[in-house]
Amino acid sequence: MKQVTISNPFITLIVLDYGAVIQKLLVKDDEGRYMNVVVGYNYPSQYPSDTASLGACVGRYAGRISNGGFNLDFKNYTLPTVNGIHLHGGNQGFGKKHWTIEEVNHGDEPFVRLSYFSKHLEEGYPGNLKATVTYKIRNNELYIIHEATTDLSTVVNLTNHSYFKLDNENSIDHYFLKLNCPKKVETDKNLLPTGKLTPVSGTEYDFKSARQIGKTRFDTPFATDDDSSFAAMVYSKRSGISMEVHTNQRGMVVYTPKGFPAICFETQNFPDAPNHPHFPSSVLRPNETYRNASIFKFDLVT
């Protein structure tokens, strides 16, 4: 297992070739001390037994797919399921694969690019898929750029699954959160989309104005607002660290795990889009390039 470190005066990033995992992301707090703002293991050897996708690139399809698969171009594709649900790419999704380190650059805008080749019908998905993820740091911003090409029409939805923890407290209740997401994707008891988008106004998920998270907990797909400068913003007054999430994706799953204090911002397409024709399309055709470009911008608040 290989480990790559890139850094500039604002950010230090440590990435693994296993799962294209972000193991550590160090930014400065309001006293100038470096703080790791993602949850991760100390040792790379611990990641193969991880069940929470800590910092991993999730694919070939991030999120849930219903009906045991999907139909594409009048052909049914069966995917592995647990209790009828296909999650995060199946039994051995991209977060459990060894990626190839394609390039490391330590220049003015350091980056590391990794790739993974997913063979036709791996986990049931059609097409030989070449996926890449580029982690780049520019000033106080982390760029995460997922790209993919295929030789046969397929579906793809890649995201990074980092759990952000902005201070050393044992809670996120005091974090302030703003979501430029006027609607969420309605889900059923199994967290599968019903096909409806519902307004967040008047619900516990209304964070259109910044407020403390409090007791709200999330496993919630939101529809991002195309007209907003950022999709999400979160900050802790106890560390002074704030983070904005910018993305070209139509969806963002906000997730707070039960076992530890942290919050995920999974920028992606809507879950189960292959089974909801009116959702933004997740279909990738030959000669097209899938691209998920997201930016995580860090700053200090008083």
pLDDT at 145 over 80: yes
pLDDT at 302 over 80: no
CB 151 within 8 A of CB 127: yes
pLDDT at 217 over 80: yes
Query: Across all residues in the chain, what is the average pLDDT?
Result: 97
Tell me the CA distances in angstroms from 73 to 17, 25, 152, 226, one per residue in order. 34, 41, 11, 29
- Given 86, 146, 161, 246, the catalytic residue: 161
pLDDT digits (tens, 9 = 90+) for 38-63: 999 999 999 999 999 999 999 999 99
What per-residue confidence (pLDDT) applies to 215?
97
pLDDT digits (tens, 9 = 90+) for 184-195: 999 999 999 999
When the candidates are 3.40.228.10, 2.70.98.10, 3.40.50.300, 3.90.1150.10, the CATH number that belongs to 3-300 is: 2.70.98.10
pLDDT at 227 over 90: no
Does residue 266 have an active-site annotation? Answer: yes
- Given 266, 276, 278, 288, the catalytic residue: 266
What per-residue confidence (pLDDT) applies to 56?
98
pLDDT band at 225 (very low <50, low <70, confident <90, very high): confident
What per-residue confidence (pLDDT) applies to 4?
98
Tell me the CA distances in angstroms from 21 to 24, 54, 115, 159, 275, one per residue in order. 9, 7, 12, 11, 29
